Amino acid sequence: MSTIVQITPYYPPHLGGLERVVENLAAGLGDRHEVEVLTTTIGAAGAPRRSRQGAVTVHRHRSVEFAHTPLVPGLPLALLRRPPGRSPGRPGDTVLHLHSAHALLPELVALTAWLRRQPVVLHFHLDVDASGRFGRLLPAYKKHVFRPVLRAAAAVIVLTPGQAEFVESTYRVPGERIHVVPNGVDGGYFMPVRESAQAGATEERPLELLYVGRLSPQKNVARLLEAMRLVREPVRLRIVGDGELRGRLEAQARELGLTRVEFAGARLGDELVSAYAEADAFVLPSDKEGMPLVVLEAMAAGLPVIATDVPGNAELIGGVGLLAAPEPAALAAAIDQVAGDARLRRTLAERSAATAPAFAWDAVVRRVERVYAEVLTGTGR
């Protein structure tokens, strides 16, 4: 048995796909390992600073957010205070598993790991995009700071073969240290294809279209609202999630006169499963994705999936769902196509249901454990 330390900027109840990926991975690893989660207090109001469920212990460090970047001054000290680990090549040791989609945290973890001579597995969820006043510094940060951190990792986990090529060519990480491991989906989301997939949308019974995710710039729900203005078939959109853009998006929906759009707020656990169960189709209008967990959940729920044809979406959804150019008219046309064609909707639902089992969490956890084993024994692929 090893000790696995999952290090993540955010963790439930903070909303987001990365957070739920770490939560599910920690729970799966906890069946065979001692697991610690080191995270922040951001978005976790009311959650205890330390909690334990089964073999998983969660430590939340006080933190603040600046320019969309979590600042966690207590994390390096917590890592330095950990009992000393043994060097790679000796089994039964500690692995630091860093989940990376934000700046600063990777450098802090890499520095403390170097001081302690501990191996780091870096989980590359998404390439950081520029935002805010300091976005102009991002190219220099990636080249001179983040690239050395990636190259120093004992292993880099990416979500897709496309990400593997990107990390190898852009960040010059040796290919033998890159491992492709997809996100997983919890068993509670698996449902049979519903008979409603055969029914046509009518004014009395519009197509129930679902979006799940953060209300943040990357997700571009504003594009989805613009598309809803252009949709001709009877469609009702339910938006499940929260974020910094919620007020602006609600105002946009009012200005566009969208009476069939509901902002349902955040949903977790059984409430989120119910949201998928009540939907007829799923839509994701993002600008960019790593591997969207919500799409895996929608596929497990037997839903037809519509998404923008952008990195992350294209690799996962191609040949399964409908991909649309990332602009409102194309997205509206795809929604109309699904709403107006019951046979197509059934076909897409069956493709989703057939594809999802390959992403069950148990299989994903086993693949991550194989990465740990290679790191701890010092073997290559």
* pLDDT for res 319: 94
pTM higher than 0.85 for the full model? no
Q: Are 210 and 297 in contact (CB under 8 A)?
A: no
Q: Are 179 and 379 in contact (CB under 8 A)?
A: no
Q: Alpha carbon of 362 to those of 36, 140, 184: distances in Å?
A: 19, 39, 8
How far is C-alpha 39 from the geometric centre of its chain's CA atoms? 16
How far is C-alpha 212 from the geometric centre of its chain's CA atoms? 12
* DSSP letters spanning 112-126: HHHHHT--EEEEE--
Q: Alpha carbon of 115 to those of 73, 79, 86, 111: distances in Å?
A: 17, 10, 13, 6
- 138-159 pLDDT, tens digit each: 788 888 889 999 999 999 999 9
Block residue for tokens 């656990």: 269
| Architecture of the domain made up of 187-358 | 3-Layer(aba) Sandwich (3.40)
Q: Alpha carbon of 166 to those of 80, 101, 140, 254, 375: distances in Å?
A: 32, 15, 17, 40, 22
Query: Tens of pLDDT along the chain (381 residues)?
Result: 688 999 999 999 988 888 989 999 999 999 999 999 999 999 888 899 999 988 899 999 998 887 777 888 888 888 888 765 544 444 448 899 999 977 788 988 999 888 888 889 999 998 866 555 555 777 888 888 899 999 999 999 999 999 999 999 999 999 999 999 999 999 999 999 987 555 667 888 899 999 999 999 999 999 999 999 999 999 999 999 999 999 999 999 999 999 999 999 999 889 999 999 999 999 999 998 989 999 999 999 999 999 999 988 999 999 999 999 999 999 999 999 999 999 999 999 999 999 999 999 999 999 999 999 999 887 655
CA atoms of 200 and 190, how far apart (whole Å): 24
**Domain range summary for the chain, segments of one domain joined by +:** 3-184+360-377, 187-358
Class of domain 3-184+360-377: alpha beta
Cross-strand pairs, 6: 37, 97
**Which amino acid does the sequence have at 285?**
P
Handedness of CA 325, 326, 330, 331 (dihedral sign): positive
Measured distance between the N- and C-terminal CA atoms of the chain, rounded to whole angstroms: 22
CA atoms of 290 and 174, how far apart (whole Å): 20
* pLDDT for res 130: 59
* pLDDT for res 197: 53
CA atoms of 338 and 283, how far apart (whole Å): 11
Q: What is the 3-state secondary structure (H, E, C) of 208-229?
A: EEEEECCCCHHHCHHHHHHHHH
Residue 312 belongs to what H/E stretch? Answer: none
Q: Are 123 and 99 in contact (CB under 8 A)?
A: yes
Question: Looking only at Cα atoms, what is the longest distance across the chain?
Answer: 66
**Which amino acid does the sequence have at 140?**
A
Phi, psi of 60 (to 5 degrees): -105, 125
Task: Report helix, strand or coil for 259.
Answer: coil
Residue 355 corresponds to which tokens in the numbers above? 């594809």
CA atoms of 370 and 378, how far apart (whole Å): 12
Strands, E assignment, 173-268: 178-180, 207-212, 235-240, 261-265
Is there a shared CATH topology between the 3-184+360-377 domain and the 187-358 domain? yes
